[in-house]
Amino acid sequence: MTGNESGRRHTRDDVAETALRILDDYGLPDLTMRRLAAALDVQPSALYWHFPNKQTLLADLADRIVARGVGVPSADPATGPGLATGPDATAWPDRLRAESAALRDALLAYRDGAEVVASTYALGLGDSAAQHRLAAAAASGGFDAETSDRAATALLHFVLGHVSHEQQRMQFDSIGVLATGEAADPLDVSGSAAAFAFGVDLLVGGLERLGDQSRSGSLSRSRT
């Protein structure tokens, strides 16, 4: 299905896609070079012709996971009915919220997706597509580049942290059925989404407030 079934010779793309399948089916701890090699019917050493090391492979996966999340505007029906505005005319706070939600969806689409992207981002590897998309959304609000970048970084940290936590909890729940009578309940699915929206609203709201302040010229004290 990946394009190479048993023809024995692989491309970098084959390797990455097979890795992505192992990740999604068995999780990050089970995504080892040796397991990946076995899935490709190849010796572990063969992988090092395609990728210099494991981190580089993971960075590639991270980029694919994030990139696969474009074109999904929000998947959230709460944006309101009949707004009928052009895609460019959307108010920037909504664009920022939509971009954050799309990123969350992208991360949730693969098991341990958030952790893969977070660790890659922490190591400074990978294209920074997520960061750039968020920064562009912020910049559409008229903020200068540094402010947009910092807001994007703050949002990204929150999103990665939140979804990592969320995914950790998902596989924890799926294993131990919890001995504590109360159970983990699927209510938490919507609870997680609400908590996510709340965090995003806090950051976007903070940015809106910052815009209001500079517009009314009440910058209490300029920072040294």
Interacting residue ranges for DNA, rule: CB under 7 A: 8-11, 32-35, 40-46, 48-50, 52-55
Residue 49 Cβ, how far from DNA at the closest point, in Å?
Answer: 4
Q: Which is nearer to DNA, 46 or 154 (CB)?
A: 46
Say how far apart CA 191 and CA 134 lie, in whole Å: 24
User: Who contacts 98 (Cβ-Cβ below 8 Å, separation ≥6)?
Assistant: 73, 74, 79, 90, 137
Q: Which is nearer to its own copies, 118 or 137 (CB)?
A: 118
Q: Give first-to-last CA distance, the chain, whole Å.
A: 59
Q: Which is nearer to DNA, 37 or 107 (CB)?
A: 37
User: Cβ(39)–Cβ(22) under 8 Å?
Assistant: yes
Q: Which among its own copies, DNA, none contacts residue 49 (Cβ within 5 to 8 A by kind)?
A: DNA
Q: Which among its own copies, DNA, none contacts residue 164 (Cβ within 5 to 8 A by kind)?
A: its own copies
Q: Which among its own copies, DNA, none contacts residue 68 (Cβ within 5 to 8 A by kind)?
A: none
Cα distances from 124 to residues 30, 59, 152, 181, in angstroms, run 23, 9, 15, 43
Binding residues vs its own copies (CB under 8 A):
78, 115, 118, 121-124, 147, 150-151, 153-154, 156-158, 160-162, 164-165, 168-169, 172, 194-195, 198-199, 201-210, 223-224
Residue 15 Cβ, how far from DNA at the closest point, in Å?
Answer: 7
Can you give the C-alpha Rg of the chain in angstroms?
20
Cα dihedral 193, 197, 203, 205 in deg (nearest 10): -170
Residue 150 Cβ, how far from its own copies at the closest point, in Å?
Answer: 5
Say how far apart CA 16 and CA 22 lie, in whole Å: 10
Q: Which is nearer to DNA, 8 or 223 (CB)?
A: 8
Residue 199 Cβ, how far from its own copies at the closest point, in Å?
Answer: 4
Say how far apart CA 138 and CA 146 lie, in whole Å: 10
Say how far apart CA 217 and CA 61 lie, in whole Å: 45
Question: For 63, which DSSP code?
Answer: H
Q: Which is nearer to its own copies, 17 or 201 (CB)?
A: 201
Residue 36 Cβ, how far from its own copies at the closest point, in Å?
Answer: 21
